[in-house]
Amino acid sequence: MRTTPAKRAFKYRFRPTDAQAAELSRTFGCVRKVYNLALSARTEAWARQERVNYNQSSAMLTAWKKTEELTYLNEVSSVPLQQALRHLQAAFAAFYAKRARYPRFKSRKRSRRSAEYTTSAFRFRDGHLTLAKMTEPLDIVWSRPLPAGASPSTVTVCQDAAGRWFASLLVEDPTVKPLPATGAAVGVDVGLDHLLTLSTGETVANPRHERRDRARLAKAQRRLARKAPGDGANRIKARRAVAQVHARIADRRRDHLHKLTTRLVRENQTIVIEDLTVRNMVKSRSLARAISDAAWAEFRSMLEYKARWYGREVIAVDRWFPSSKLCSTCGALQARMPLHVRTWMCACGATHDRDVNAAKNLLAVGLTASVCGAGVRPQRRTPGGQPAVKQKTQRREP
């Protein structure tokens, strides 16, 4: 049981002045430069079978600032530069633990433009946020209030591809605490025709946000394709127009998923999902666009961290469990179940909707895994009536 308040990031848009935008742009460039320099140094050391830790890279940063070539690093706040080295250290820690691939260099055009400030590099008083090297507070659009008495521990400032500026404030939120326990449990099957199908029989329509704005996106991309290559003003303007359409799609998708996941977590104590490998599924040329638009991975990520916040349990069932082919009434396993078959009848006489039946089976095996701990699949019978051998399914921790 968590005793300390959970840390939560509150993200707001702001409108910088010309001087603030110039200062932040310089900071973004210096952060990218320091990150790439440190990565290059650590890569060379890696080739020599040596490891460079954070303290050594921090000493390198001090030496770089004293050189004539990199003296401009002294013009920006030193905190975002140190935070860049910490982020690189975390990336290497994930690589050494085999949780991620080798860190990559940051690109001026493609990488996220951001800088992180700790408490020594900003001032937050009476709802006004002032960053280091700035004399005026940021003009933040407070779309929602911070928790009463909250004091940010870090502030991350970024600019997205659409040209929008954001400030993310990390605070301790006392309102995030375990909800009263409930006995409700639900199985969730994700899909494309319906975004979600619950074991209760309820379905949630797939909004298909990308498809709804596909014509607008195609028009903006055609205009970009006609612009001369390079960094001309017209090409930058056209590229930003494409990014604005993508931002609109992503914002609407994220808002919809937040509402869905919050509702599921509040209403259910246990939520059972399928452990899908989305990164492999999007390799299908015919389904990649639709799967990306559904954002199954983002849905799972939101579900898991909100479950941790509110004291709920998310169980991921092994992806090889035949949830669609298994009769939820008698346990008979069908030999084949092509994707175009949406409704089918079992030998026992039960008629199943494919997705509802899959959600019910996910719930059953998930609850079994939760009780038994070993994730034993329930006994089932083959279409011929002979009992099938019990199989084990690996329980994936969320």
Q: What is the pLDDT of residues 118-146, one digit of tens each?
A: 999 999 998 899 999 999 999 999 999 99
Q: Do 145 and 191 share a domain, yes or no?
A: no
Mean per-residue pLDDT, 15-36: 96
In tens, the pLDDT along 32-67 reads 999 999 999 999 998 888 888 999 999 999 999 999
Range of the domain at 196: 178-204+265-398
In tens, the pLDDT along 172-182 reads 988 888 999 98
Q: What's the token pair of residue 207?
A: 């909004």
The percent of residues above 70 in pLDDT, for the chain, comes to: 91
**Candidate from 144-153, 187-196, 334-343 with smallest mean pLDDT:** 334-343
- DSSP letter (8 states) at residue 179: P
Q: Which of 173, 194, 219 is the last residue of a domain?
A: 173
Q: Do 133 and 278 share a domain, yes or no?
A: no
Q: What is the pLDDT of residue 175?
A: 85
**Candidate from 117-121, 147-151, 203-207, 389-393 with smallest mean pLDDT:** 389-393
Residues with catalytic annotation?
Answer: 189, 274, 355
Question: Do residues 121 and 130 make contact, with C-beta atoms less than 8 angstroms apart?
Answer: no
- DSSP letter (8 states) at residue 52: -
DSSP secondary structure letters along 305-346: HHHHHHT-EEEEEPTTS-TTTB-TTT-BB-S---TT--EEE-
Q: Do 159 and 192 share a domain, yes or no?
A: no
Question: Do residues 97 and 50 make contact, with C-beta atoms less than 8 angstroms apart?
Answer: no
How far apart CA 227 and CA 342 sit, in angstroms, is 46
Q: Do 96 and 124 share a domain, yes or no?
A: yes
232 assigned to some structural domain: no
Q: What is the pLDDT of residue 376?
A: 41
Of the segments 20-24, 143-147, 370-374, 388-392, which one has the largest average pLDDT value?
A: 20-24
Q: Do 108 and 183 share a domain, yes or no?
A: no
Q: Do 332 and 300 share a domain, yes or no?
A: yes
| Of 47 and 331, the one with more pLDDT | 47
pLDDT at 271 over 90: yes
Give the CA angle between residues 127, 132, 134 to the nearest 5°: 80
| Of 4 and 336, the one with more pLDDT | 336
Mean pLDDT value across the chain: 88
pLDDT at 18 over 50: yes
Q: Do 131 and 187 share a domain, yes or no?
A: no
Q: Which of 243, 86, 67, 51 is nearest to 159 (CA)?
A: 243
Q: Do 102 and 162 share a domain, yes or no?
A: yes
For the entire predicted model, the pTM comes to 0.83
Q: Do 168 and 23 share a domain, yes or no?
A: yes
Q: What is the pLDDT of residue 382?
A: 36
83 assigned to some structural domain: yes
Q: What is the pLDDT of residue 171?
A: 94
Question: Do residues 287 and 192 make contact, with C-beta atoms less than 8 angstroms apart?
Answer: yes
Q: What is the pLDDT of residue 242?
A: 96
Q: Do 339 and 191 share a domain, yes or no?
A: yes
90 assigned to some structural domain: yes
Please state the domain count of the chain. 2
**Tokens 């390799």, located at residue:** 283
Q: Do 44 and 164 share a domain, yes or no?
A: yes
* Dihedral sign computed on CA atoms, order 221, 222, 228, 234: negative
Phi/psi for 264 (5° steps) reads -65, -40
Mean per-residue pLDDT, 72-100: 95
168 assigned to some structural domain: yes
How far apart CA 240 and CA 192 sit, in angstroms, is 30
258 assigned to some structural domain: no
